[in-house]
Amino acid sequence: MNGGVFPGVDTFAWPWLLLALPLPWLLRALLPSTGTPGAALCVPWGSRLDAIAARGGSARRAAGAHWLAWLGWCLLCLAAARPQVLGAPVQPPRSGRELMLAVDLSGSMADEDMELGGRLVDRLMAAKAVIAEFLDRRAGDRVGLVVFGRRAYALTPMTADLDSVRRQLLDTVVGLAGRETAIGDAIGLAVKRMTSTPEQPDGQSGAGTTRALVLLTDGVNTAGLLDPVKAAALAQAHGIRIHAIAFGSDSQALSVFGLPIRLPGGGEDIDEAMLQRIAAMTGGKAFRARDTAELAGIYAEIDRLEPLPRKARPLRPRLERYPWPLGGALVLLALALVLPTRRPS
């Protein structure tokens, strides 16, 4: 209900309580006087003021108290209806985008072939640094974390608490989920977690939500029960895009006494064709990162591929104004009770 007839009021939360305004008049007209034997109800103020005036009180004061009491009742009804005004427009937080990060923790992620801060580090440490920076740019998103090795595990559900996701990521170690690589199971678990997410507080979920899985791996699918292509078909069916990142250096051969020795997890071990296929199936994109700088550029590119949704319509909060008429009603009713008791000088 619009409260335009009341200055400074935009709406009422409970407008039906304004119907109580004529109640004292109706009771006074319909019910017998308080002096009648057996009267069950007393009409407030009216008969009391008449009795006070009859006992010699000031008629003018009694009339003034009479009207103060009625005005107090009107303000009391106004306060009970909860008058409200619309506050300044507030921009709600951006929402509607969900990202699941799937990070490979297999044994080959321990290979120290990445440079970070001028020193050689293993692949997992380099990935942690880049993904942590990626999370810093995801304000307004809900992000989850899946890690996989021989098995896949969900470390965090879809959440807006990006600090929690970052802490869980930084606590991971190589081999935590086994030393093999279950890419299909990781995709399947990520799809399950994203599709079973409860409705968001703003009511946006399901088809209205932009959802994507960012998969980082340095190997081939060597474990697990679910084939990666079949898992990608599940993602496609639920409208989840997969951005797949093949991570690892191409130079993985060492020379010992003049004989080349191939280290596990080298560039030739990455199944880039399979990653390209699952990305294409779901409308995502496949990438190849051979060093930390390329990996950082890829996550920046994914940031552009998954843009922020349009801002929601600004909301105007409703501010309560009932304390003002309530305070006025209490003051007037107190005066109505006190004023008739004074005797004329």
Within 8 A by CB and 6+ apart from 127, the residues are 103, 109, 216, 247, 295
pLDDT value of position 5:
55
What stretches in the chain show pLDDT beneath 70?
1-8, 33-64, 91-96, 197-209, 251-268, 307-313, 339-345
Return d(Cα 94, Cα 186) in angstroms, integer: 28
Angle in degrees, 0-180, between the axes of helices 183-195 and 228-237, rounded to the nearest 10: 20
pLDDT value of position 312:
58
pLDDT value of position 88:
80
User: How confident is the model over 108-161, as pLDDT tens digits?
Assistant: 999 998 988 888 999 999 999 999 999 988 877 889 999 999 999 999 999 989
pLDDT value of position 240:
94
Only one residue has tokens 């699918």, namely: 221
Return d(Cα 34, Cα 56) in angstroms, integer: 19
The greatest distance separating any two alpha carbons of the chain, rounded to the nearest whole angstrom, comes to: 125
Domains of the chain: 11-87+317-341 (no CATH), 97-305 (3.40.50.410)
Range list of β-strands (E), 241-315: 241-247, 253-256, 259-262, 286-289
Return d(Cα 143, Cα 22) in angstroms, integer: 57
Instruction: Evaluate whether 213 touches 235 at the Cβ level (below 8 Å).
Output: yes
Q: How far is CA 158 from the centre of its chain?
A: 11
Residue-by-residue DSSP string for 120-139: EE-HHHHHHHHHHHHHHT-T
Please give the structure tokens belonging to residue 205.
């979920």
Return d(Cα 93, Cα 200) in angstroms, integer: 12
Return d(Cα 281, Cα 287) in angstroms, integer: 15
pLDDT value of position 143:
93
The span from the first CA to the last CA of the chain, in angstroms, equals: 49
DSSP state of 268: G
Residue-by-residue DSSP string for 201-219: TTS--GGGSEEEEEEEESS
- One-letter amino acid at 227 equals D
The edge-to-edge listing of strands for the beta sheet with 142-148 is 152-159, 142-148, 97-104, 210-217, 241-247, 286-289
- CB atoms under 10 Å from CB of 287, counted, come to 23
Backbone angles phi, psi at 43, to 5 degrees: -80, 125
pLDDT value of position 254:
47
Answering whether pTM is above 0.75, one says no
pLDDT value of position 187:
96
Instruction: Evaluate whether 246 touches 265 at the Cβ level (below 8 Å).
Output: no
pLDDT value of position 170:
94
Q: How does strand 83-86 pair with strand 11-12?
A: antiparallel
